Amino acid sequence: MTAASGTSAAVSGTLLQVAVTLPVDETFTYRDPRPGVRLPLGTEVIVPFGSRQVTGFVVGHPEATAGSVRDIADVVGDGPAIEEPILDLCRWAAGYYLAPLGEVLRSALPRGERAVASRRIRLTEAGRRLVDLEAEGRSHMAGITLDAEDRALLARLRAARSLSPTALARATAGATARMAHLGKRGLVEIIDWVAGPSKSRKGAGEGKTSAASSEPPVLNPHQQAAFEACRAALGKGYNGFLLHGITGSGKTEVYLRLIAEARAQGKGALVLVPEIALTPQLAARFRARFGDDVAVLHSALPPADRLAAWRRLRSGEVGIALGARSAVFAPVRALAVVVVDEEHDGSFKQEDGVRYHGRDLAVMRAHQAKAVVVLGSATPSLESFRNVLVGRFRRLLLPTRANPAAAARPLPPVEIIDLRRHLMGPDQLLAPPLLEAVAQALAAGEQTILFLNRRGFSTLMHCQACGAVLRCSSCDVSMTLHRGREKLICHYCGRAAAIPPRCPACKQAALQGLGTGTERVESVVRALFPSARVARLDRDTTDGQRDRLEKLLARVHEREIDILVGTQMVTKGHDFGGVTLVGVLQPDQGMHLPDFRAAERTFQLLEQVAGRAGRGDRPGRIVVQTFCPEHPAIQFLRTHDYEGFVRDELARRESASYPPFSRMIALRLDGRDEASVCAAATAAAAHARAQAGTAVLVLGPAEAPIRRLRGRSRYQIWLRGTDRAKLLAVARAAAGVTLPREVRLAIDVDPQSVL
């Protein structure tokens, strides 16, 4: 805790410990000069910080401090912006993820509920006097001569009280230079200005329903047993469950029953799902069951609607929060149930800013609230499965599908096609057995999903004459050809470029696309089956627009589409009753990534997409094309043997001391100048090794697998150990290195990606 520097006041009011919303680890002491006022914890305040004003949150009330302190500038809102349960969660997150507390607190608030600091231009006292004199008919002040445009600018500022430099520059040509000139004359000044919380319409845009309308289905014995186990734990302190159910086993219905029980007791519920904008079915099911008692929180909502949902939760008007990872901070009252659906999904990990894991924060929130937490998945993460083995969670099994017709059948068989035995030309993306299977499904009036986890038409463009590959000028990756947009696009920074007629290196007209994306698959399938109704589901076809996604999914449900080509978006919880065939085209690229989780992620992804087949009245079939049929992810997929895969993979991880048998922290450094980044990484690694001893293994520094992103060179240092406290101490020591001005260092605790 540090006393804020600068002009100070005598310490005679209430002292406040404030976490400012800046990337600084300390908290700072300020004074509230108002007599007899004690601001609650979590109150947002505006405080002087150096020469500017910033926002912060009250996180303590120290009794004394060394030296003098500065006064707060203002209080935002009429009460605490963050209530104590969320403040406690943010404190834990800041400590665990080595993140500044103020930044964690800021991430817990939706846009619009945060105060926003910016630069503004306003008149000085002399400027106001001059404008008043002009209004009285006087043309000048002593020593100051202005032209008509100067006077107009001053009058504009007088009327508006203050304006942003950007708004002023847009409104008046040459305003920036004139403001600088007027500033030197003492007529205008630049200030730090803070806007408080915005207003929003109550319940705006949330797609409200008038009443709960869905009649719950009858639970099968496995669902009933899982529900009873969770219900028995309600109100008895923290309890953790892993709901391990095969695809289509009815996990969502167990969640709904448990939440209904909690709401009947007057308790609240929090449900986290990966990428909620991709699963409108789930939001619809919750609203059909609970009506207006559901607040949906995710980034696809307009900010005003998200803010309205957040405020309805906070007021207690709504008792159920449903959202993506940031909804873990939702202000649910009397929290009794926390659900994390598809808990294995990598999108629960925040990869920039405060690098928290939504699933793990959800477990901690349930622990702090003494609530029941249910983690659901058909392919649980190895971390969660091991937590079952060591007694942290209780596993509840749903081994059969909920649909009675599907439950009477075994899971769909998996046929493996060894592509080494099938010689195919460049446009033969489907091996003969898969081609025949698609034709049979079409003839039977059934639907097919073709899965390839790559967007675009060709994954790279190369020159047949000199061998050069067209690469992104900002990133160390090849550009992807998107034929529909006639562009080369970098899938990391988003840079788009026209397709050159000739090779930039040798000037020959010999450019050719290599590799396959979903756009090319769609084109080939349309040519192979001209009478079939073919559609593509990836981020290019939806373009982040939820209405496009919902219309496309509705067409699949109505069986207006025969063949759906897609990326992992087709695996996200969709229940297509007419799909009987799933074809997997190229899983090999994911198996061989330089990542110790590559096999786990490949198995999870394939088992999830395989689960889209045979969920209705007709049996399903899965066909997988691969050059590596002997890979464990493929071998265990053949029999849907999740537990066999987990035992095999856990043994590999344990022998190599990888998580979940150890903990890891990645230190990621980046900057424009590669030499500076390398030198900083070398110094940080030296700091780490000096602190590590034998308890922590320090690996690196080394170039990141993707050496350059968005014009910045990247280096990594990896820390591994079993002692969490020692690991954090080593990370802090490494982060204490003095960095060149433009080099950034980020700490990633429990990293989910090595790239």
- Which tokens sit at 120? 């503004």
Instruction: Please report how the helices 674-692 and 724-735 are oriented relative to each other, as an axis angle in degrees rounded to 10.
Output: 140
Residue 625 contacts residue 586 (beta carbons within 8 Å)? yes
Cα-Cα-Cα-Cα dihedral sign, residues 301, 306, 309, 314:
positive
Q: Looking at residue 139, what is its pLDDT? A: 53
pLDDT of 121 reads 78
> Region 22-44: what's the mean pLDDT?
91
Taking alpha carbons only, the member of 312, 310, 314 closest to residue 326 is: 310
Nearest to 195 by CA among 97, 118, 136, 84: 118
pLDDT exceeds cutoff 90 at 558: yes
**pLDDT tens profile 539-554:** 888 776 777 888 898 8
Whole-number Å distance between alpha carbons of 659 and 349: 16
Domain-located, residue 215: no
**Structural domain boundaries, residue 668:** 663-749
For residues 273 and 317, state if they share a domain: yes
Which tokens in the block code for residue 722?
Answer: 């079993």
Residue 140 predicted with pLDDT over 60:
no
571 and 610 housed in the same domain: yes
Q: Quick one: how far is CA 473 from the chain centroid?
A: 26
Q: How many domains does the chain have?
A: 5
Answer yes or no: do 36 and 156 share one domain. Answer: no
Average pLDDT, the chain: 88
Burial class (CB in 10 A: 0-12, 13-18, 19+), 274: buried
Q: Residues 248, 180: one domain?
A: no
200 found inside a domain:
no
pLDDT at 9: 42
pLDDT > 80? residue 191: no
- Are 355 and 99 in contact by the 8 Å Cβ rule? The answer is yes
Q: What pLDDT does 201 receive?
A: 46
277 shares its domain with 372: yes
pLDDT at 199: 52
Confidence (pLDDT) at 198: 54
Residue spans of alpha helices (H) in 335-453 = 358-369, 382-389, 404-407, 432-443
Same domain, 93 and 155: no
Answer yes or no: is pLDDT of 593 > 50: yes
Backbone angles phi, psi at 83, to 5 degrees: -80, 165
Rounded Cα distance between 63 and 104, Å, is 25
- Residue 10 confidence (pLDDT) above 50: no
Among 100, 115, 130, give the residue marking a domain's end. Answer: 115
Residues 190 and 284 in one domain: no
Q: Rounded to the nearest 5 degrees, what angle is found at the Cα of 571, between the Cα atoms of 634 and 619?
A: 75
Q: Are strands 335-341 and 372-377 parallel, antiparallel or unpaired?
A: parallel
CA nearest to 606, candidates 568, 557, 653, 578: 568
User: Do residues 456 and 515 make contact, with C-beta atoms less than 8 angstroms apart?
Assistant: no
CATH number for the domain that contains residue 238: 3.40.50.300
Determine the Cα–Cα distance for residues 496 and 519; give it in Å rounded to an integer.
Answer: 17
Instruction: State pLDDT tens for residues 639-655.
Output: 999 999 999 999 999 99
Angle at CA 637, nearest 5°, toward 633 and 643? 85
What residues are paired with 71 via a beta bridge?
31
Query: pLDDT, tens digit, for every residue of 56-112?
Result: 999 999 988 777 889 998 888 888 999 999 999 999 999 999 999 999 999 998 875
Structure tokens at 313: 């939760």
Same domain, 178 and 240: no
Q: What's the rounded Cα separation, in Å, for the pair 195 and 310? A: 19
Instruction: Classify burial at 154, counting beta carbons within 10 Å of its beta carbon; exposed 0-12, middle 13-18, buried 19 or more.
Output: buried
* pLDDT greater than 50 at residue 27: yes
Residue 485 CB partners (closer than 8 Å, separation 6+):
496, 540
How many C-beta atoms lie closer than 10 Å to residue 399's C-beta?
Answer: 11
The string of pLDDT tens digits covering residues 265-292 is 999 999 999 876 656 678 888 999 999 9
Q: How many residues does the chain have?
A: 755
Q: What is the pLDDT of residue 583?
A: 97
User: Any idea which residue has 């730090």 for tokens?
Assistant: 192
Q: Are 628 and 584 in contact (CB under 8 A)?
A: no
Give the span between the Cα atoms of 626 and 550, in whole angstroms.
32
> 195, 229, 254: which is the final residue of a domain?
195
Tokens standing for residue 320 = 């159920």
Quick one: what percent of the chain has pLDDT higher than 70? Answer: 88
Boundary-marking domain end, from 653, 674, 703: 653
The answer, yes or no, to whether residue 753 has pLDDT greater than 80, is yes
Residues 560 and 422 in one domain: yes
| Partners of 718 in the β-ladder | 666, 699
Q: What are the structure tokens assigned to 96, written together? A: 């665990």
Q: Is residue 81 part of a domain?
A: yes
Residue 98 contacts residue 731 (beta carbons within 8 Å): yes
How much is the pLDDT for 149? 78
For residue 566, list its beta bridge partners.
451, 537
Lowest-pLDDT range, 218-227, 418-427, 548-557? 418-427
Going by C-alpha positions, the residue among 607, 578, 575 that lies closest to residue 250 is 575
Q: CA neighbours within 13 Å on the CB side: how many for 93?
A: 32
H or E stretch covering 625: strand 621-626
Asked if residue 314 belongs to a domain, the reply is: yes
Q: What's the CATH number where 680 sits?
A: 3.30.70.600
**475-507 residue pLDDT tens:** 999 999 998 888 999 998 889 999 999 999 999
Closest CA to 732 of 103, 90, 97: 97
> Among 551, 582, 578, which Cα is nearest to 566's?
582
Lowest mean pLDDT across 14-28, 106-120, 220-234, 734-748: 106-120
Q: Using DSSP, state whether 176 is helix, strand or coil.
A: helix
Which CATH number fits the domain that encloses residue 83? Answer: 3.40.1440.60
Q: Is the model's pLDDT at 740 over the cut of 60?
A: yes
Contact 339, 272 (CB under 8 A): yes
Residue listed under structure tokens 């009675």:
404
Q: Are residues 129 and 264 in the same domain?
A: no
* CB distance 719 to 505 below 8 Å: no
Do 101 and 131 belong together in one domain? no
Residues 570 and 634 in one domain: yes
**Is residue 147, in this structure, part of any structural domain at all?**
yes
Residue 138 lies in a domain: yes
Cα–Cα distance measured from residue 334 to residue 319, given in angstroms and rounded to the nearest whole number: 9
Name the pTM for this structure: 0.85
Domain contains 485: no
Instruction: Give the strand pairing for 28-32 and 2-3.
Output: parallel
- Please tell me the distance from the alpha carbon of residue 473 to that of residue 497, in angstroms, as a whole number: 10
Pairing of strands 696-709, 712-721: antiparallel
133 SS3 class: helix
Domain contains 351: yes
